[in-house]
Structure 1
Amino acid sequence: MSNTNISGWKSGTLSDVIKINYGKSPKEIFNKNGKYPVIGTGGITGYTNDYLHEGGTTVIGRKGTIDKPYFVAGKFWAIDTTYFVSDYKNTNEKWLYYSLQNIDLVKFNEASGVPSLNRETLYAIPCLFPTLPEQQKIAAILTAVDEVIESTQAQINKLKDLT
């Protein structure tokens, strides 16, 4: 990372802190009774008994839906129209997920038909990186807010079912 900014935040690019991996074809791995989710650009597309990665990480659309990063905890299979992040360097996985949600990934589209993101383009995206303790605090707060939103939405859905 190149420069230090406000309160120890550093500027750099995604290539400074993560590795972006290609997903793989889901041919012949689907199993309706599988233990692990198969993640596509729109989220879970099925289940399998095989996995490509284990641990909390972000899946990013490579083709199709490129602007909706998806956080995955545990073992999963990422299909070949996605990327998944690994090898975090001094970076909190959940903080990176929230950061990627706030980047307009559509402006990095490199196709005229089906939206497409190039890995090298993702690597070159400039970012400001708070210190790791700050990242952890930010991620914890945003995760708590997400949990309240999900709980509230579940209650709204239950009330709608009653009417």
Structure 2
Amino acid sequence: MAKITWSSTLKYSVRGRIVTLDSNSTVIDDGIVYIEGDTIKHVQDAAQGAPNGWRKIDAITSSGTIYPGMIELHNHLAYNIIPCWNVPKAFKNRDQWRRHSDYTKKMTGPLRILGSLDGYLQAIVRFTECKLLFSGVTASQGITLASSPGIRSLYKGVVRNVEQT
């Protein structure tokens, strides 16, 4: 396989089974995703032929299923339901800020309460998955919540969970 050096104008394509995540839940058994720089330009059936500007570019063949979108490799998904913490001062390490009373009051405390209430975990999961999809993320990491170990089993929606697959 040829080495690919990334640039903002790099054009390449990936061929395989594509789950488009469109409103019709379209799955293309033999499709190609056309990418330029950091932008997906086209997603289509391979039989359609390459769009203009892509005809001389050989597709990289995938042996798996392609979910066109971004992969987020580090997050704490449940925390996406509360506002960001305004850090009050500089800390030397994470053990200091995690024990700060303001962090407990505004971050871990509310999540501990919400995670223990019936029906809230399901709502947290659906909200965070929607937030990811709206931002173009189709695979993510960080599905656990210390106060609710059962949350992992609820992430079974459209967003792929890298911890489970």
TM-score interval (norm. to shorter): under 0.3
TM-score by length of 1: 0.24
